[in-house]
Amino acid sequence: MQQTTSFLPRLGRQPALALLFLTLLLALAPLPSLGREDRAARAVTPRGPLGAEEQAHINLFKRTSPSVVHITALGAERDLFTMNVEQVPRGTGTGFVWDTGGHIVTNFHVIQGANAATVTLSDQTTLEARLVGAFPDRDLAVLHVQAPPGKLPPLNIGSSRDLQVGQRVYAIGNPFGLDQTLTTGIVSALNREIESFNSRTIRGVIQTDAAINPGNSGGPLLDSAGRLIGVNTQIASPSGASAGIGFAIPVDEVNRIVPRLIRDGRFVRPSLGISAGATNLQRALRLPRGVVLVRVTERGPADRAGLVPFRRDERGLVLGGDVITAINGEAVADMDDLLSQLEQRNPGEVVELSVWRNGQLRKVRVVLSASP
């Protein structure tokens, strides 16, 4: 009798064809029918009312977010094909409405190096901005936009002198270009010192663990009442992203500087008309801690008060001069300390200097002048 060979065993000797055949059989096999109840979406479980803390976060964001803006810094760039000069984005940051007159406050480093900027409001209206003034020593700048007052609700101003470690704070900004982001945290520490972008020391800084990322710069730090208590400026992070350590310029400092930028276009620091020596001179001459005068401007405030600098005679020997050790009884350790104290005063104001000369300490009254 003739031997027959079935189809499946023959395919078994060809694994690829066998696998294809089995796949087709499974695909054509009838699926179990699904009941109506299997196809229906699951019922939503009611959650009940939001908690009081959640509702407080929501209400604060609704009240304050219309006052927060997105800033795009622009720079001129020439198209290599058309040779036309165009304004292209150089960076982005955050700002906030200072008053109904159209003034916007942000960080200086947000617009540093730009020759133009645009401001995008919370309703996505984009406006051209004009630089009013900047003070790099405190990383602050003021822009101006033309818009109906109703589109520019200013933030309420708080105080930073009575802040306490542990109190709740909120940061609103545009991290990584994302619009209107709210983060929450606490005041982690007070009276920190950070370095501004021109190497000046910024004192009295607020430290917070509210997440602050690139793009948050220039945005507001708010208290639980929705009042401005600081301007977010830097983070401490090797990666450049939030690591739980953010810093904000205290609002008392902002409220002192911004009105003068709006009025004068720059922050006019009072001057003593002096130049300070290096610390190695201080150590070499074993002088007390303070500001060692190496130059006194002729007919300047210090010169009129009788202060004299350290100098050399014709033989190269150092002649004794003055060291300023305090202003109005508050000690100054170096020129940075002195400048920080002068920034809290106005031209024409009278201050009392503690001056060391040849081992003797005396008090000298000086009338401050405007810096050139």
Same domain, 310 and 326: yes
Q: Which of 151, 185, 212 is the last residue of a domain?
A: 151
Whether 217 is catalytic is yes
Measured in whole angstroms, the distance separating CA 97 from the mean position of its chain's CA atoms is 15
Q: Tell me the per-residue pLDDT of 289-309, one tens digit each, with 9 for 90 and over.
A: 999 999 999 999 999 999 999
Whether 103 is catalytic is no
Least confident segment among 1-15, 91-105, 179-193, 260-274 = 1-15
Q: How many angstroms separate the CA atoms of 206 and 149, rounded?
A: 31
Same domain, 224 and 304: no
Same domain, 160 and 249: yes
204 within domain boundaries: yes
Measured in whole angstroms, the distance separating CA 279 from the mean position of its chain's CA atoms is 31
**Of the residues 70, 122, 137, 139, which is catalytic?**
139
Range of the domain at 224: 156-264
Whether 57 is catalytic is no
Pairing of strands 227-235, 220-223: antiparallel
Q: Which of 249, 264, 279 is the last residue of a domain?
A: 264
Contact between 119 and 103 (Cβ < 8 Å)? no
Q: Which of 220, 238, 264 is the last residue of a domain?
A: 264
- Among 71-80, 212-221, 237-246, the range with the most confident prediction by mean pLDDT is 212-221
**Of the residues 217, 242, 354, 369, which is catalytic?**
217
**Of the residues 70, 103, 109, 144, which is catalytic?**
109
Same domain, 239 and 274: no
Q: Tell me the per-residue pLDDT of 157-172, one tens digit each, with 9 for 90 and over.
A: 999 999 999 999 999 9
Half-sphere exposure of 199 (CA within 13 A, CB side): 1
Same domain, 302 and 317: yes
Pairing of strands 360-367, 369-370: unpaired
CA-based nearest residue to 321, from 292, 298, 291, 297: 292
Q: How many angstroms separate the CA atoms of 7 and 22, rounded?
A: 13
Contact between 312 and 304 (Cβ < 8 Å)? no
Residue 38 pLDDT grade (very low, low, confident, very high; cuts 50, 70, 90) = low
Write the DSSP symbol of residue 216: -
CA-based nearest residue to 355, from 319, 310, 325: 325
Same domain, 115 and 208: no
Q: Tell me the per-residue pLDDT of 42-73, one tens digit each, with 9 for 90 and over.
A: 999 998 999 999 999 999 999 999 999 999 99
Q: Tell me the per-residue pLDDT of 325-341, one tens digit each, with 9 for 90 and over.
A: 999 999 998 888 888 88
